[in-house]
A and B are shown apart, each in its own frame.
Chain A
Amino acid sequence: MRYRSIVITALFLCVFWAANAAAMTIAVLPIEDLSRGQNGINTEITDYLAWELNQRGFDVIDQDTVIDFLARNRVRWLGFLDTRHIIQAREELGVDLILFGTVSLRQEDIAPALGLSLYLVRTDDTRTLWTGTGGISQADLLRILDLGEKKDVSGLMAMLGQKVMAKWPKDYVFVAKQQQALEIEKVSLAPENIRRGEKVSCEVRLRTRWSDEDMPRIFFKAGGRVRLARQSKDGYTYSSQWRVEDRDGRYPVTMVINWPSGRKKISFLGAYNVDSSPPKLVLELKGIKLEGTVAFRDKVIIIPRMLRREPVARWRIKVKDENGEEQMSYNGYGNLPMRFVWNGRGKDGWPAAEGIYHVELYAWDRAGNKAVATENVAVARTPPAMVLEAKNRGRDMIVDLNHEGRVPIAFWRMEMRTGAGELIKVAEGDQLPARMDVPLSNNVIKVAKGGKLPKNVIRVAKGFGRPLQMDVAIPRENKEKTKLACTVIIRDVLGNETRKKIDDLERFARGEKQAEEPKGAPPAWIEEF
C-alpha cells in the first residue's frame, strides 16, 4: 500500500512537471558562432537546440518570428542580451524563457572539435537561470589503442548538445537568496565639463518602483551639497538641476536613497569637472625674425603651444591682413594639430601681398572656455636690390657689390667669364659689401714662371741664364672676343633672389647701357617628325 502511494505520487509529480514544462514558452536565439567571426551564426546548432527543447516539451517559438523580433528591435549582436531586450521579448513574443549561446570553437582540420556555451534567461525578472558550457573533440572519443567511432563536426554536435544540456534545470525558480537590489536603467549627468555659474542636470531612471508605503526619498549629492530629486509621473525617473558655484575641480555625484524604514543606500553616479579658466595658449612662428616680426617668402610654420596641457574641444585659426580682411582660416574639432602651415596665399589662391598679417588662434576647452593667441607675421617677397659698380683702373677692373634693403643676405656669387664663356674668376660670400679685382688681360704684363708658354705669351728676352717671360697682350683680331662678362646672384635669408648678367664689363664701367637681354622667343611649332 505504501509502495503504491509512493508510485502514484511520483507519477503525479512527473505529470505535473511535464505539464509545467509544456506550459513554458521558449525562444531560441540564433547561436553566435565565433569561429565564423563576430557576426557568425550557427544555424545547425540553433535548429538542433530548438528541436531538442521541443522534444523536452517546450513550446518553442519558430526561428522566423525570432529573427523578425531581432530585426525589429535592432539586436545587432548575438551571444548576449540586455535587460531591455529580454523584457521586450516577453512582451512581444510572450516567452517565459530565452536560450542564447555561443559556439566558442569549431574546427575540422586536425581533429573535429566543437565548443558551446548556453545561457537560459527567465523573462519575468531577467535573471539567468542556468548556464552550460562544454567542448568536445574527436580526440576525446578515441578509446584505448585508438579505437573508437570517428565523427565529423555535425556528428559531434548532438553529443555536445546532450553533454552541455545534461544539467538542464528541473524547475525554473531561482534559488538565490537575493536581496532587493537597486538597479539603474540609465544615468544622464550633463554636461561633463562645466563652467562656474552654469547648470548641471542629473537624471536617473531606475528599474524598480516602490509602493507608496515604501517610497524612498532620493537625493543627489555633489560638492558637499544635497539636492532632492524630482520623481517623474511614471515613478521610475528622478531628476534634478543645480547651478554650479564650486571652484575648479572634479566633483563626484552620488545618489542617496532614504527609505521610510530608515534604510539608506548610496550609489555613485558619475562626476563632472568645473573648469572656469581658459587654456593658456601661445603661438610660436618658425622663421626669420626681422625687426621683431617673423618674415617669410613661401610658407610659415605656426606652432601652437599650451602652457598648461588640457584637452581642447575645438579650435579655429585665422590670418588677417592689416585692414582686417580674412586671408585664411581653418577650424577643427579635438586637440590642436602639432603645427599649422600658411603658404602665404589668400582665400582666392593668389599669393598675398607684401605686408604685415595677424595670425589669430582660438581654442575652446571642453567646458567652452575660449583662449586666444595672436602673433604678427610679415610677407616679404621683394628680391634684394643689387648695387653693382665697376671701375676700370688700367690693368685691373674693380667691381664693387652691395645691396640695399632690410633683409640680410644669405649669400652672393659673382662669376667672370670671357666672351667665349671661359671662366676667369669666381667669388662668393655671405657678407656685403664686397670688392673684386679682375686683371684685364689686354693690359696686363706679368711674369710667367717658366715651363711651356701659353698661346698669348711670347718670349721677349734672354739673359742671366733664365728666360724672362712676360705675359703680353697679343692684340686680337676681333676685340669683341676679349670682353669680360659678369654674372651676379644675391639671395636673401628669406629666399628672395636677384640675378644680374652683364655682357661687357668694360662698357658697364664706362656707364654705357648694355643691350637688353632678348626675351625668350615665342614657342614655335615643330613639324612632325
Chain B
Amino acid sequence: MDSKAGFKRIGRWLLPAAVIVLLASCSFRARPGIMKMASLPDGGKICRVAVLPFSNQTRYPLADTIFYRVFVAELLESGSYLVSQEGDVRKIYRQMRVLVGQTPDVEQVRSLAGRLGAQLVITGTVVEMRDKTKYGRKLDPTMGVIVRILDGETGRTLWTTFVRREGKDYRKIMHFGVINTVSALAKRVSQEILAVWFKEGLQKCSE
C-alpha cells in the first residue's frame, strides 16, 4: 500500500518535470551575442537610421539581399524608425564609387549619414546561409549573421551583434515550431537581434 502511494507521488512529480525538461531542451536558444564598443548617441533615442547593403560571405546566392530586405522590414516594423530608402543609400554608394557589399570607410560612413540625416548606420555580413541539408534531401534552414551599428556622426562601430540559428532551434515538440524557410528564419533572427538591441538600450522612435 505504501509502495503504491510512493509510486503515485513520484509519478505526480516526474511526469510534469519530464515534460518541462523536454520542452525546455527543445526550445533553448542562446541569446544573440552583443559586443558594445561605445554607447549609443543621444542616449539611445534614435529615430533616423540608414541601413547599408550587407555583404555576403556565403555561397548562397544573394544571401545578403535576402537578409537585408527582411531585416529592414523588421526594423521598420519594430520601432517605427525613419529608415532611409535603400535606393537613396545605393545612389550615394554610386556617387562615392563604393561597390555594394564593400565596406565603406569611416569618412564615407560619416558623409553618407550626414546626407541622409541618419543618427545611426547599420551594416552587416551574412556569414552562413543554407536552406537544405548537406545533400539537399531535407529542409534545414541555417543562418549566421553579424550586424553592426555605426555612429553616423563619427563613423565608428558602436555595437556588434552575432547570431547563428537553425530552423530546428525553434522546435517546440515533434515537428511543431520548426522553421522551414530561410525567409521565416531571417525574420526570426532579425526579431531576436532587435530584441537584444532594445534590451541593451536602443529606444523605439515612438517612445
Instruction: Say yes or no: B184 contacts A135, CB within 8 Å.
Output: yes
* Interface members, chain A 85-118 (any B CB < 8 Å): 85-86, 102, 104-105, 107, 109-111, 113-118
- Please report the total number of B residues contacting A with Cβ < 8 Å: 53
Tell which of B65, B77, B95, B153 touches A34, judged by Cβ atoms closer than 8 Å. B65
State how many angstroms separate the Cβ of B88 from the closest Cβ of chain A. Answer: 5
**Beta-carbon nearest neighbor of A79 in chain B:** B69
Residue from A85, A114, A177 within 8 A of B47 (CB atoms) = A177
Chain A interface residue count, CB cutoff 8 Å, equals 59
A127/B139 in contact, CB under 8 A: no
A176, B85: Cβ atoms under 8 Å? Answer: no
B80 touches A176 (CB 8 A): yes
Say yes or no: A181 contacts B182, CB within 8 Å: no
- A175 and B81 alpha carbons, distance in the complex (Å): 10
Interface string of A236-252 (1 = CB under 8 A from B): 00000000000000001
The answer to whether B180 and A139 touch across the interface, beta carbons within 8 angstroms, is yes
Does A283 interact with chain B (Cβ within 8 Å)? no
For the complex, give the distance between the alpha carbons of A267 and B107 in Å. Answer: 12
Contact between A135 and B187, CB atoms less than 8 A apart: yes
The reply to whether A119 and B73 contact each other, CB–CB distance below 8 Å, is yes
Minimum Cβ distance to chain B for residue A107 (Å) = 7
Stretch at the interface among A3-11, A182-190, A226-234: A182-190
Asked if B85 and A86 sit within 8 Å, CB to CB, the answer is yes
For residue B136, CB closer than 8 A to chain A, the reply is: yes
User: Does B166 have its Cβ within 8 Å of any Cβ on chain A?
Assistant: no
**What 1/0 mask marks residues of chain A from 18 to 52 whose CB sits below 8 Å from any chain B CB?**
00000000000000001000100000000000000
For A111, give the chain B residue with the smallest CB separation.
Answer: B139
How many residue pairs between the two chains, A and B, have CB atoms under 8 Å in the bound complex?
171
A134 at the binding interface (Cβ < 8 Å)? yes
Q: How far is the CA of A118 from the CA of B77 in the complex (A)?
A: 11
Task: Evaluate contact between A176 and B87: CB separation under 8 angstroms.
Answer: no
Question: Across the interface, which residues of A come within 8 angstroms of B83, CB to CB?
Answer: 128
Instruction: Tell which of B82, B131, B187 touches A181, judged by Cβ atoms closer than 8 Å.
Output: B82
In the assembled complex, A460 has its CB within 8 A of some CB on chain B: no
**Known contacts A80-B87, A176-B206, A177-B205: does B182 contact A105 (CB below 8 Å)?**
yes
Q: Which of A127, A135, A182 contacts B183 (CB 8 A)?
A: A135
A287 within 8 A of B: no
Pairwise interchain contact A271-B82, C-beta atoms closer than 8 A: no
Which residues from 148 to 207 on chain B have a C-beta closer than 8 Å to any C-beta of chain A? 153, 174-175, 178-187, 205-206
The stretch of B14-22, B31-39, B108-116 in contact with A is B108-116
Least distance between A468 CB and chain B CB atoms (Å): 90
Q: Which of B119-143 contact A (CB under 8 A)?
A: 131-132, 136-139
Which residues 124-147 of A have a CB within 8 angstroms of B?
126-128, 130-137, 139-140, 142, 144
Tell me if B29 is interfacial: C-beta within 8 Å of chain A. Answer: no
Alpha-carbon separation in the docked complex, A115 to B47 (Å): 28
A-contacting residues of B (Cβ < 8 Å)?
47-48, 61-62, 65-66, 69-70, 72-74, 76-77, 80-83, 85-88, 90-91, 95, 107, 110-111, 113-117, 131-132, 136-139, 153, 174-175, 178-187, 205-206
Q: 7 more A-B contacts (CB under 8 A) besides A105-B181, A133-B74?
A: A38-B62, A104-B182, A113-B139, A131-B76, A135-B179, A135-B181, A176-B80
For this complex, 19 residue pairs linking A to B, each with C-beta atoms less than 8 Å apart, are A77-B90, A82-B87, A104-B65, A104-B70, A110-B137, A115-B184, A116-B183, A119-B76, A128-B76, A134-B184, A134-B187, A135-B182, A135-B187, A137-B184, A181-B82, A267-B115, A268-B113, A269-B114, A270-B107
